Chain A
Amino acid sequence: MNRRSTLSLCLVALVLGALVASCGPAPTPEVIRETVVVEKEVEVTKEVEVQVEVEKTVEVEKEVVVTATPPPMETILIGGFGPLSAPGSYQSGTQMRQASEMAVDEINEAGGILGMEVELVFGDTEGLPERGTAVTERLITQNKVVGLTGEFHSAVALTEMEVAHKYGIPTVFAEPWADGVTASGYPEIFRLAPSIEYYSSIATNYMVAVGWETIVFVVEDTDYGHLQAEGWVTQLEAAGITDVEVIYADPATEDFTPILQRIQQAPPDLLAGVITGIGNSRMVRQACEIGLAPTAETAYYASSDAQYDEDFWENVGDCGQYVFFTFVGLPETVWNEKTAAFVAAFEERYDHTPGAPSMEAYDATYMLLNAIEDAGTTEPAAVIEALENIEMTGVLGDLWFEYTSANPVPEGEPDWMWHQWPTPSVYIIQYTEAGQMLGDAPVVFPEEVATGPLYTSP
């Protein structure tokens, strides 16, 4: 019995030790880097990358030299966050990560920042606010990143920014649209994406310009959907359009036909199906199958997922002709050289069309790193100041921030204009031919940049 208890105690001690070690303190930075590289290698097999990429990733691993905390840095570590798995919108998050990685690779190829190699550590926030907190904490306290960039979901961004603010780490948000992100007034937080209010207003102004009077919105039952719908209803009312109905739907709905048949009882001038993901395609198909929209009597407004032309046409077939949608980013007709280069490089490397989230992520990453270069240091206050004064041309156009600590948001302007890129490119695009690629589809609004007629009816 004695031997047995001693043996047992030893075993228990071992198990406990293993437990403790596994929950132990931060793995050394080398370990982290290895896993980042592993991820890239997995990328390689999936996307069938060129041989060169493989070698490059190996090189990065060899070149990095990192010592214990805090590093007298020979690498600049920046953090990225976004949804890479459910229930987040992993399609968008994956693109954003890819774009950021591409940006970092390009910068490294061009010599790095302040003579140092840049490294991106990307955290999967899964679209869950609590994950946002955890991932941001980890990036800042474990990986010791000097800046943060990315995120797709507004609800998650709202928790992430609290952590970034707590530690004073400069953050350039790429995609979250909630007004609250910049309305917070936090000095560390910057945003490239439009706010919801601004984004919705482009669509509303378009609807008013075309002259539709009865509108039915079928909107996804999420924060994105609700905020948008509320914005539209208010703005349309202000413009005198009051015959507006909003119906909320579970984005995972397979069959919208019954509700569409119901709407068909009194067909509106415009049917808006603002559902992201697979729901977008389903609604377009089903509305067209029952002859509701797009038709001569009823136009169809899709969610911005329609911008992914290959996926869109694969999933909706000819039904997509005459569908229009709001596009955030630069349409091909307004591309600058950087945009063209980016799109080509992205498609080559990842075999998928880059959407607006990836353009924003790309620019956000570049912006953060350029600011570090401008500041001459990774010290947060200096980087923040550099960001406030930054002027650069990204794939989205000319980027700068209007309202900063030197020029605070004045009375008449909305709070969310703080650290907000004031002219995000938001346009209305319409597919005028079946199978039309995004680049060929005309920009129909705002009129100043339109390349085609205001609205082409079936």
Chain B
Amino acid sequence: MTGDRRLRFPVLGGSSTSRLQWLVALVVLVVALLVPTFLQTYWLHVVIIAYFYAILSSSWSLLAGYGGQFSFGHVAFSAIGAYTAGMLGKHLGWPPLVGILLGVLVAGLIGVGIGALVLRFKPAYLALFTIAFSEIMRLLIRGETQLTRGDQGLHLEPLLGTDIISRVPYYYIMLGILVACLLFMYWLVSSRIGMFLRAIREDEQAAAARGVDVVRYKVLAFAITSMIAGLAGAFYGHYVTIISPNMMVLSQMGLVMAMAIIGGVENLIAAAIGGILIQVSLELLREFGSWRLVIFGALLMIILRFARNGLLAPVFRSLFGMGPRAELREEATADGA
């Protein structure tokens, strides 16, 4: 390690351009804050849903791209958060905020469980296991209709009550959650935890040999990302007010993965932007029906094959000199090479 104790933001590149990055982030944030002034209800709704997907894709990129654990269970955690909140509200009458909090906790607990179970799995086994987990959860939620109302859909109370019908406050809340999650994940990757995660991803045995508590950090990655997914899901539930097991079908997981990959799976911001862009594009291309998904499938394969770091990495690199190679350059210079 370089011994540099200054807080670094490896996903955005070295410190010499950090001021520029913050400036850009600020501009984007201001634009985002002003969005409700020029978007009408329908498109506002689309963007709110896009933010939901952005939270999922960026947190998945943390687990998979950053932490190297390609889990297929992410949307299942989102659904667990949503259904926990929904069932508590429906059967016990608990208020939405409590439901959301518990949704996050339950998702996190199960995430810890799954993370612990898959510790020693190689990528293919991890993928298969999490697929199995996701499908079992879906079949359970769909089957136990007494609890979850299965395919009929579970009704949740709108977070802000039935009097507020405007989407604008929901927009700000979802934006707030997205920003908060991104900032939190940033802090995480730039801290020692992030360093350890990357070390584990690169070479688990070497990291263990150097004293990194592999078990702890791998499980932590699962715990944190599943909590974030659960949070997104629970809030989503209290926004759209009706959820069904369809929110966790494997093709939804495929979509989240595609978003992260097309955006850039090793970069939180890129994955988030990927989520937003793809969701909006899917809406714009609605008229093309099934063909839009054909296009996305093809795009996913092509990007994987030819643009491993996603579409946004080259943009970022030229703008801010960031990206994995840039990181290494920075480290090399800081090392005094």
Contact = CB atoms under 8 A, between A and B. Distances in A.
A26 interface: yes
Given A137-B45, A142-B42, A222-B150, 9 more contacts: A5-B20, A16-B28, A23-B46, A23-B280, A128-B244, A155-B151, A158-B242, A159-B241, A227-B152
Contact of A87 (B35, B49, B249, B287): B249
A128 B151 CA distance: 10
Contacts of B286: 123-124
A38 B284 contact: no
Given A137-B45, A141-B40, A36 B153 contact: no
Interface of A: 5, 8-9, 11-12, 15-16, 19-20, 22-26, 35-36, 38-39, 42, 84-87, 123-124, 127-130, 133-134, 137-138, 141-142, 154-155, 158-159, 166, 221-223, 226-227, 248, 250
A337 B286 CA distance: 37
A134 B283 CA distance: 10
B289 A85 contact: yes
B244 A129 contact: yes
Contact of B246 (A20, A36, A87, A159): A87
B290 A85 contact: yes
A155 B319 contact: no
B38 interface: yes
B22 interface: no
B333 to A, nearest CB: 16
A221 B244 CA distance: 13
Nearest to A133: B240
B15 interface: no
Interface in B280-337: 280-281, 284, 286-287, 289-290, 315, 318-320
Contacts of B151: 155, 221-223
A24 B244 contact: no
Nearest to B50: A23
A223 B142 CA distance: 10
Given A128-B246, A222-B150, A226-B145, A137 B319 contact: no
Contacts of A20: 31, 38
A230 B142 CA distance: 17
Given A23-B46, A221-B151, A12 B24 contact: yes
A15 B319 CA distance: 12
A325 to B, nearest CB: 22
A163 to B, nearest CB: 10
B38 A24 contact: yes
A128 B50 CA distance: 17
Contacts of A26: 40, 42-43
A93 to B, nearest CB: 11
Contact of A129 (B24, B145, B242): B242
A270 B139 CA distance: 29
Contacts of A226: 145, 150, 152
B203 to A, nearest CB: 35
B123 interface: no
B205 interface: no
A24 B43 CA distance: 8
B322 to A, nearest CB: 11
Contact of A23 (B28, B43, B287, B319): B43
Given A133-B240, A142-B42, A226-B145, A8 B320 contact: yes
Closest 4 CB pairs of A and B: A223-B152, A130-B240, A138-B42, A222-B151
7 contacts: A5-B20, A8-B320, A16-B27, A23-B39, A134-B45, A134-B46, A142-B42
Contact of A221 (B23, B39, B46, B143): B143
Contacts of A130: 49, 240, 242-243
B165 interface: yes
Task: From B20, B42, B46, B289, name the one whose CB has the most chain A CB atoms within 10 angstroms.
Answer: B42
Contacts of A86: 251
Nearest to A139: B42
B232 to A, nearest CB: 14
Contacts of B24: 8-9, 12
B152 A36 contact: no
A137 B38 contact: no
Contact of A39 (B145, B249, B287, B320): B287
B47 interface: yes
B41 interface: yes
B280 A25 contact: no
Contacts of A227: 152
Nearest to B245: A87
A11 B27 CA distance: 13
A39 B277 CA distance: 23
A25 to B, nearest CB: 6
Contacts of B240: 129-130, 133
Interface in B248-280: 249, 251, 277, 280
A53 to B, nearest CB: 18
Contact of B150 (A23, A38, A85, A223): A223
A324 B42 CA distance: 45
Contacts of A84: 289
B31 A16 contact: yes
A346 B51 CA distance: 42
Nearest to A136: B42
A283 B153 CA distance: 26
Task: From A39, A86, A137, A226, name the one whose CB has the most chain B CB atoms within 10 angstroms.
Answer: A137
B142 A221 contact: yes
Task: From A11, A23, A134, A166, name the one whose CB has the most chain B CB atoms within 10 angstroms.
Answer: A23
A25 B40 contact: yes
A305 B316 CA distance: 53
A9 B28 CA distance: 12
Nearest to A154: B152
B153 A25 contact: no
Contacts of A22: 280-281, 284
Interface in B46-84: 46-47, 49
A205 B36 CA distance: 56
A25 B39 contact: yes
